[in-house]
Amino acid sequence: MEEKYGHTLVVKAIRSSLDQARQEHLQEGSAVPDLASILIVAEGLLSSWLKPTLFQVLNATGVIVHTNLGRAPLSEGALEVVRRVGKNYSTLEFDLESGGRGSRLIHAESLFQQLLGVESALVVNNNASAVLLMLTVLTKGKKVIISRSQLVEIGGGFRIPEVLRHSGTDLVEVGTTNKVHLFDYERAFNKETIAVMRAHSSNYSIVGFTSEPDIKDIIKSAHKAGLWFFDDLGSGALLDTSPFGLKHEPMVQESLAAGADLVCFSGDKLLGGPQAGIILGSKELIDQLKVHPLARAIRADKMALAALSATLDHYIKEEALEKVPVWQMISASVEKIKSRAEKWQKTLQLGEVAESESMVGGGSLPGETLPTWVLTVEVDHPQKLLADLREGSPAIIGRIENDRVIFDPRTILPQSDIDFIKVFKQTWSQYEK
């Protein structure tokens, strides 16, 4: 045990095992265990103490950007860059040309400038931080206008109104839940107003009797009044989702082209990279964000910057559909998905292949689905099967629909089919006894 776990931890486990034995003897009158029993309990404690809580799973739920399962998986290119940067020293804050101190802020910024032609860019640890930084630095003590239809709450209780208030910004709500007009914004303009903000409703949709002005008209009106326009896009789409049968998701390029002063979004949703918050736009404004103390507290680390840079390379090289897993899954043909589901069924010799629907997820394209084919398995206790599959290595995460257990190939990359089959066979063998 000592070679495996180290002297100090083994001693701690043995002491805990002895304490447990004493308590059981005093309270229950049980026999005093021998040395072998003490060591068995100690080894069990060691195993439980060091059992990892963060590890790989196979996502067969059909939800592509699954927040609970780590959102976007990284591309092979991104993983390789992270491995190299993590394994070795790097140029995180070192300038090779001068031999002196450099800045971590330049790495992704230069790629965004090349990809989107933006003046400046700043990467922080997530989009919630990006919004908080933007408002704290630029709008504290001033009024910011936002439509009532955009007062959203996203995962973890992150609420736009509370963020605005926490940043010291005075929130001005305009319009109604379902309708907002350009004149609603313009009536709220006054000398205390500094900006208009849009928070994209990426995790819900309002349908029916609804309307809102075009973003270009809002920006034009705001700029005419001398106000900034900030756009919190959230999902960070750089590719058009409509060619894949989905509703058009507002794109970063569209917001920038419309004249937004700052645009912020997540790195690990439709961008398909690591967790990050990205702010693009005016150099004058972003320069103010870069030097604020809060920016250091929420800065991105070298691993995130490495993965993000590699992900952006895929877009620059126009290979995102082929290399970025999120877009591989979105663009996967229904025919190929059906073929894989049929192969699963044939190899496992159980279940049925049926039509179903996948979701983009992750606060993107609410209510939108993609056609798919799934393997369905009918068992007496579907929850137990899912629980047993979660004990596999790697764990398989499925879903239940109409009392059947559903496994969607869309959200498992083809190279992981071997692992899926192996774990499923091992788990199913106990049901055949």
Asked if 39 and 186 sit in the same domain, the reply is no
C-alpha distances (whole Å) from 261 to each of 146, 210, 230, 304, 415 are 15, 27, 6, 25, 42
**Please, are residues 161 and 171 in contact by the beta-carbon 8 Å criterion?**
yes
How would you label 154-175 residue by residue, b for 16+ Cβ within 10 Å and e otherwise? beeeeebbebbeebebbbbbbb
Q: Which of 320, 354, 383 is the last residue of a domain?
A: 320
- Calculate mean pLDDT across residues 83-93: 95
Among the listed residues 206, 207, 268, the one whose alpha carbon sits nearest the alpha carbon of residue 234: 268
DSSP state of 402: T
Say if residue 81 is in the same domain as residue 38. Answer: no
Do 222 and 347 share a domain, yes or no?
no
Instruction: Describe the crossing of helices 417-428 and 334-348 by its angle, rounded to 10 degrees.
Output: 30
371: CATH: 3.90.1150.110
* CB-based contact 261:281 (threshold 8 Å): yes
Residue 414 reports pLDDT greater than 70:
yes
Tokens, residue 297: 């507290």
User: Can you name the residues that pair with 95 across neighbouring β-strands?
Assistant: none
> At 84, which amino acid appears?
R
> Are 37 and 124 contained in the same domain?
no
Question: 320, 339, 359 — which closes off a domain?
Answer: 320
Task: Report in angstroms the alpha-carbon separations of 402 from 50, 64, 249, 374.
Answer: 38, 21, 30, 13
pLDDT in the model for residue 155? 58
149 and 201 fall within a common domain: yes
What letter does residue 298 receive in the DSSP assignment?
A: T
329/379 same-domain check: yes
CA-to-CA distance for 49 and 52, rounded, in angstroms?
9
- The Cα–Cα gap between 323 and 121 comes to 24
Distance CA 298, CA 253 (A): 25
Supply the pLDDT for residue 77: 97
* pLDDT for the residue numbered 158: 63
Q: Mean pLDDT across the stretch 310-326?
A: 97
Give residue-wise pLDDT tens across range 127-182. 989 999 999 999 999 999 999 887 766 655 667 777 777 888 888 899 887 888 99
Residue 204 has pLDDT above 60, yes or no: no
**Confidence band of 209 (pLDDT split at 50, 70, 90):** low
What is the model's pLDDT at position 206? 60
Do 311 and 335 lie in a common domain?
no
Is residue 283 domain-shared with residue 381, that is, in the same domain?
Answer: no
Predicted confidence (pLDDT) per residue in 364-410, tens digit: 777 789 999 999 999 999 999 999 999 999 999 999 999 999 999 99
**Nearest Cα to 241, choosing from 198, 202, 205, 199?**
202
Rounded CA separation 75/371 (Å): 24
pLDDT, greater one: 261 or 32: 261
316 and 331 in a common domain: no
Q: Which residues make beta-bridge pairs with 352?
A: 376
- Of 39-48, 108-117, 291-300, 340-349, minimum mean pLDDT range: 39-48
The secondary structure of 320-385 as a DSSP string is HHHH-HHHHHHH--HHHHHHHHHHHHHHHT-SEEEEEEEEEETTEEEEEEEEEEEEEE--S-HHHH
Asked if 366 and 239 sit in the same domain, the reply is no
Number of structural domains in the chain: 3
Sign of CA dihedral 58, 64, 66, 70: positive
Final residue of a structural domain among 298, 320, 342: 320
Task: Give the CATH number of the domain where residue 284 resides.
Answer: 3.40.640.10
* 271 and 136 housed in the same domain: yes
Q: Which residue range forms the structural domain that includes residue 307?
A: 76-320
Q: 170 and 246 share a domain?
A: yes
pTM over 0.95: no
